Chain A
């Protein structure tokens, strides 16, 4: 199963990025890979919208960026989640999970889907 990329709402993309950065600073490609790996490629994010999304998060001061050297010794821009970013992630994740939970429960009630 693979979700269509267009289904990934903007707000959700931000949530995923923040979650990806929770483990530690990462460059854009790292974020994309992390999401792919974690979801076994189910949520394949649209890479073109990844960077504008990062800028938006930066504008809101949920992440900050800094130039550094990548694992293969290349110049890369690394993103770090901020304290405000963590708080936002906690709040949004709670809402998202309650929502998903509710939708799941509705879908599970009888009569069962075909």
Chain B
């Protein structure tokens, strides 16, 4: 046995060459055997043949050996990697323990960034990604829509059509229909308003929902409308109202004043079929005949308020179901040309969407996805700022560790291994940051869930952190570790050995400003500009929306809405009630004026009605449907909408007297330009009315709308059962609300009342802007703080590295002022570069918020100017402290220090 040639060791660097080794070993054996045969006097050819014959199947043995050796090599590598990883982890833990301050700041920064992302993602998860709870095999569910008359594909359907759909499509194992309603609900005492669904009897069967208690609806084709007064209550309502009493089954409850028997309790977490809306009560759709006193909803194909959900038959696909509905649409178009032809003279279309694509109603889908994209972008940018900060901390740490790194390199550690070790530290930091961030997110989502927006329905979104959120956070943490860790790790491993070993910090080229850290600060500032700019634009929009001339005065108005129709009031009883409540309220101290209206401007309700104008010939295809409100006497007084011409409605405009109407300025301009509108006649389906007044244009649906034709009818001539009492007060409108509630309760204790101030009710129309501005505001301030800390870190580090240079300058007679100029100038120029980059990027990104902007341009100079000022101040503050320290440098100490 001799020496191994040394070059072979180098070949072993990437592990043994298994194939060559086995070949060598077997060939050696065969050659040795052949040599022995030759020594016995065989010819070389014969010797070789005999050696082979004696060995047996060389190929098979070789293959067996190769497989064995490969397996063994893999095991070895795996063990080695595990060992390395454990060692790296131990090393990282030890390193972080030795620097508790650094670790704390880094972990908190990352936790903030990852927590914000986790929180927003859990909202996205709850709205868009999570399959519905308590439903069997939701992936087989589809939503079915009939296109609207005016074109949009995803509209609701009529009951008569639903019956035809159900019979006609063999691709579906079942099809159910439902509509959302607000019900007046009571168990005998005072009523409350709850969200409910009227559903066809097969609703729970098609969804595959099993009851927590009792039974759910069972299909029975023979039932007549209005003959099945039974109800299923939600698990939550059962707990809240009945204390979880199992005896609830068979109890009588009152829905819109009608007695219903509870037959079952839905399973926990089942919140109905409209994502985000809490449904607490289900009643059979055929009971709508009793509940809302409609007459033709079961037969009239034009009455479309049903959402449809189907379950695919075992062998069916989305495409086959869609094909089935194409046939049905054609048949219905032939059978009912009137109701199945749309505005373009084409057949209505039926569209099928998979459950996962219909979690948000299609009309809102684009807006919701856009809003989430904005939020995810914002928290993403915020996380990048956090990454830049941690990277900066790591660079500072690397600078302090140069000697350690140099020693390890000198002792033979590979640079690759060193980089891996430093990255392990980053991953560990990100991991701990993710855990703390997830805890922050748990807290933040609780806060979010406690927030009740001013909406008539309860929001039911399960924001809890589930597996999907955890996977997201874990992946994001890994990505984060790479983003903030890679550059510093490579930088740290790239140390000039000799100077680093010789003289501590002298290893760096100390006379340059730290380039990588400056790049980080510039990008931080740039990202900060984007956040601040978006937040600023939204805030300016809110301001603009609040200061815009609405055309009415929403301050000091209290609202109380009543739904007498739901409570089985006849018209005469309803009129008496409204007369009484107006009279009683007017008599209250502090009340200036009281009126009634069917809808509130900028609220959730908005109705349109077709009109015909005497002497006006509509152009072909001209849409003569306009916004309408039905209002009581003194409405314009209460709202402070000035009358431009004529008079407003009075008590004399009652049933039996001359039918009248009031139009707004746009209406008058549209039909009678340059002519006096007073005395003109318009028709609203039922009868012709005389225009007695022209009101000033005011906002009706949104603050950003252009003035459009709008008209008003007198409540006394056009009774509506659901009205809103509008009370103008001298003082705080909130003070009057409990008194009005008490008045209403004296008149009818069972009647649910919804009260709010006019300004709160209007808040709904600005909710997206307000939510956006609030979140952006929080995130951009955090980003600003982080960027300022980052800049401070860089400046402080630079000053500490240039102590000697500054000392020399001062020894040579530089003034304090000069030192300030050098340091502050550097900080400000970094800020300026970041500002320019950020403004350029913002110009591209503010289009994300364009839909939320109002009265302000996406490149609003005031906003960008303010951002520049804010950042400049931040830069001055962040550079001032290090600059001050620089002026305190004692030239003697600085010069001696080496």
Residues of chain A at the chain B interface (Cβ within 8 Å):
25, 27-29, 32-33, 46-49, 51-52, 55, 59, 67-70, 73-78
Contact = CB atoms under 8 A, between A and B. Distances in A.
B56 A46 contact: yes
Contacts of B2: 68-70, 73
Interface stretch (B18-26, B245-253, B280-288, B686-694): B18-26
Contact of B25 (A28, A47, A52, A69): A28
Contacts of A27: 25, 28-29
26 contacts: A25-B1, A27-B25, A27-B29, A28-B25, A29-B28, A33-B36, A46-B56, A47-B55, A48-B56, A48-B58, A48-B61, A49-B56, A49-B61, A51-B25, A51-B65, A52-B64, A52-B65, A52-B68, A55-B69, A68-B3, A69-B2, A70-B1, A74-B31, A76-B28, A77-B21, A77-B28
B33 interface: yes
B56 A51 contact: no
Interface string B538-549: 000000000000
Contacts of A70: 1-2, 28, 32
B28 A69 contact: no
Contact of A69 (B4, B31, B33, B58): B4
The number of chain B residues touching the other chain, given as a range, is 20 to 34
B21 A51 contact: no
Given A73-B2, A77-B25, 17 more contacts: A25-B1, A28-B25, A28-B29, A29-B32, A33-B36, A47-B29, A47-B33, A47-B54, A48-B55, A48-B58, A59-B72, A67-B21, A68-B1, A68-B3, A70-B1, A74-B31, A77-B24
B25 A68 contact: no
A75 B56 contact: no
Given A29-B33, A69-B3, A55 B56 contact: no
Nearest 5 A/B pairs, CB to CB: A69-B2, A48-B56, A68-B1, A29-B32, A47-B55
B344 interface: no
Contact of A74 (B3, B26, B28, B61): B28
B240 interface: no
A51 B8 contact: no
B21 A47 contact: no
A75 B28 contact: yes
A43 B289 CA distance: 102
Given A55-B65, A77-B21, A68 B55 contact: no
A51 B25 CA distance: 9
B68 A55 contact: yes
B605 interface: no
Given A67-B8, A69-B2, A51 B28 contact: no
B60 interface: yes
Contact of B4 (A28, A59, A67): A67
B57 interface: yes
Interface string B1-45: 111100010000000000001001110110111001000000000
Contacts of A77: 21, 24-25, 28
A68 B56 contact: no
A2 to B, nearest CB: 14
Contacts of B57: 48
Contacts of A49: 56, 61
A31 B336 CA distance: 97
A78 B4 CA distance: 12
Contacts of B29: 27-29, 32, 47
Given A51-B65, A55-B68, A69-B3, A76 B25 contact: yes
A29 B3 CA distance: 19
A70 B60 CA distance: 25
A69 B3 CA distance: 6
A55 B54 CA distance: 20
Contacts, number: 67
Nearest to A5: B56
A32 B64 CA distance: 19
A47 B2 CA distance: 25
A70 B27 CA distance: 13
Q: Which of B32, B56, B65 has the most CB atoms of chain A within a 10 A radius of its CB? A: B32
A113 B171 CA distance: 87
Contacts of A28: 25, 28-29
B31 to A, nearest CB: 8
Contacts of B26: 51
A70 to B, nearest CB: 7
Contacts of B61: 48-49, 51-52
Contacts of B24: 75-77
Nearest to B22: A51
Interface string B51-80: 000111110110011001100100000000
Q: Which of A48, A73, A76 has the most CB atoms of chain B within a 10 A radius of its CB? A: A48
Interface in B240-284: none
Given A52-B61, A76-B28, A47 B56 contact: yes
B714 to A, nearest CB: 99
B10 to A, nearest CB: 14
A90 to B, nearest CB: 25
A114 B138 CA distance: 85
A49 B60 CA distance: 10
B18 to A, nearest CB: 12
A83 to B, nearest CB: 20
Interface in B598-652: none
B60 A48 contact: yes
Nearest to B25: A77
A69 B5 CA distance: 9
B21 to A, nearest CB: 7
A67 B57 CA distance: 24
Nearest to B51: A47
Nearest to B16: A67
A40 to B, nearest CB: 16
Contacts of A52: 61, 64-65, 68
Nearest to B58: A48
Contacts of B4: 67-69
A108 B54 CA distance: 35
A32 B28 CA distance: 13
A57 to B, nearest CB: 12
A105 to B, nearest CB: 36
A83 B3 CA distance: 24
Contacts of A51: 25-26, 61, 65
A50 to B, nearest CB: 8
Contacts of B64: 52
Contacts of A68: 1-4
Contacts of B28: 27-29, 70, 74-77
Nearest to B36: A33
Q: Which of A27, A47, A49 has the most CB atoms of chain B within a 10 A radius of its CB? A: A47
B134 to A, nearest CB: 55
A52 B69 CA distance: 10
Nearest to B57: A48
Contacts of B33: 29, 47
Contacts of B54: 47
A32 to B, nearest CB: 8
Nearest to B31: A74
A75 B8 CA distance: 11
A15 to B, nearest CB: 21
Contacts of A55: 65, 68-69
Contacts of A32: 29
A74 B26 CA distance: 13
Given A48-B61, A51-B26, A52-B65, A69 B1 contact: yes
Nearest to A76: B28
A48 B30 CA distance: 11
A24 to B, nearest CB: 9
A76 to B, nearest CB: 5
A25 B2 CA distance: 12
A40 B28 CA distance: 23
A68 B8 CA distance: 11
Nearest to A30: B32
A76 B29 CA distance: 9
Nearest to B12: A67
